[in-house]
Amino acid sequence: MKNYRLLMLTTLIISGCSMVYELIISAVSSYLVGDSTLHYSITIGLYMFAMGVGSYLSKYIKKDLFNWFTNIEIGVGVLGGLSSLLLFLANLYLESYELVMYVEIILIGTLVGAEIPILTRIIEMDKKNLRLTLSNLFSFDYIGGLIGSVAFPLILMPKLGFFATAFMAGSFNLICATLIVFKYQDRIRGSRYYKLTTILLLVLMLLGMFVSENIGNIIEQGLYRDNVIMSEQTTYQKIVVTRHKDDIRLYIDGNVQFSSMDEYRYHEALVHVPMSVASGRSDILILGGGDGMAARELLKYPDTNITLIDLDSEMTRICSEDKVISELNEHALSSDRVTIINMDAYEYLEKCDKKYDVVIVDLPDPNNEALAKLYSNVFYRLCGQVLNPGGVINVQSTSPYYATKSFWCVTKTLESEGFTVAPYHLQVPAFGDWGFNLAVKSDNDYLVDEGASSEEEVMTVADSSENKVDSEYAPVQGKIDISRIKLDENIETRFLSNENIASLFIFGKDEKPADMNDIEINQLTKPVMIQYYNDAVRNWE
């Protein structure tokens, strides 16, 4: 037993590192391509299959077991250490990103799958302690997997990022290979060659770890069209700021959040339309909006107090302290009228005992399960519970043109919770056609009866029934009188005006669903929004 303690330790390490590689491949693929459910599922399934292949192939290895075991350590270390870099390069320069992803999973999984059978055969020579040794072997293997799966999201990714994490895990594998070569050199053919190889590869892997930030900067310059002026991996997301002449852009996980050239169009429409409909303006809740732009627009109302809920404390810190972004949001996040609470929006609503006049939902697009939950029927129910009488909810709802089903799914989901909904949209050059859903309860003054008596009246009211297009679907609530929406005369805007507000509520034929009955409500227990959104992304790619 004492003779194989080092091998036991390597089993724990290679298992933990292989779990890290599996999570890296899944996370990078979700980051670069989207559809996290698909990529995590494929990675796990294909990895398990590859381990089975490796275990099967190991039966053909009949001699030089220590050599083979060392080769496996080296192979897993090199492939795993380069996994992030290869995936990013594939995304930049190859059309078939998935091919590189699949090859990585299969190769690493096959090598890891062969490890336990080979190690078992090595210790078979000590039959006296075989039972005890095998039990310890599998225990170390499972414990290593647990360590890797916990360390990746809590420590490695937030502190090191994709590249440094992969290089570090690869270094651990190569350290194990080096120790094995020196410990069991008398049982390894060509041990001198292996010593030189493992040391050289370990040095290169450690070097990659130390220069990973530089590598990341180079890769990001290729991923983003403009110069990257700030890049930070937080516990929850990758935040990147780019600059091209006067155009400042903020990206979260590779998706643009705003361009300084046109963000005012988006944020004016997001804020001032619901503020013009709400019965009160004293207490406003922003869910998301960590960049501070929505808060900037709300601070134009002198008696407004704002509560901003954003999960990522680093996001609000950056947008408060970074000179470039804080100038764009006019230091809104530092205002004494803005209270920032860093917690999950869903959790906040569950615990909230305060009431608000306006709830502005300015969250990222629903491209994963965590975000889709914040577009669900239960989430909107919670939003309604914190509204004062006459209150208004406004939801960022993706694009009615590029993601038609996703947009109208928001409409239908809000209506399922008893809201009268008026969808509207506008052109934001950085995004294209972008939409919102304005939602009110039956106690709002802007509601009118469904039965408009003249053609002129029909043009002044809005609800989603106007957009049903050959569908029997129709909401049961009334309509919102669009003609009455007027901006506060003291509010300065660059895009929005009393003359163009009504036009925002008009949709073209290609921005409406063929049949609203084909669109399901996004339920907490059945998040159809993810599928709608990811289908739209694949379609436009």
> Residue 413 in 3-state DSSP?
helix
Determine the Cα–Cα distance for residues 195 and 436; give it in Å rounded to an integer. Answer: 62
Tell me how far apart the 2 most distant CA atoms of the chain are, in Å. 96
179-203: b (≥16 Cβ within 10 Å) or e: bbbeebeeebeebeebeebbeebbe
**What does DSSP assign to residue 402?**
T
Determine the Cα–Cα distance for residues 62 and 218; give it in Å rounded to an integer. Answer: 45
271 within 8 A of 426, measured Cβ to Cβ: no
50-60: b (≥16 Cβ within 10 Å) or e: bbeebbeebee
Rg (C-alpha) for the chain, rounded Å, is 28
Determine the Cα–Cα distance for residues 89 and 472; give it in Å rounded to an integer. Answer: 49
The helix (run of H) or strand (run of E) holding residue 294 is helix 293-298
460: amino acid identity, one letter? T
Token output for 15? 């298992």
Determine the Cα–Cα distance for residues 268 and 496; give it in Å rounded to an integer. Answer: 6
- Calculate the alpha carbon distances from 519 to 275, 454, 513, 522 in Å: 29, 31, 8, 9
Which phi and psi angles does 361 have, rounded to 5°? -100, 100
- Calculate the alpha carbon distances from 191 to 120, 198, 230, 284 in Å: 22, 10, 46, 70
> Residue 122 in 3-state DSSP?
helix
From the candidates 291, 357, 362, 433, which is the catalytic residue?
Answer: 362
Which phi and psi angles does 288 have, rounded to 5°? 95, -145
88-118: b (≥16 Cβ within 10 Å) or e: bebbeeeeebeebbbebbbbbbbbbbbbbbb
Q: Order of strands across the sheet with 479-481?
A: 447-448, 479-481, 461-462
- Note if 362 is an active site residue: yes
Sign of the alpha-carbon torsion through 131, 137, 141, 147: positive
Which residues belong to the active site? Answer: 362
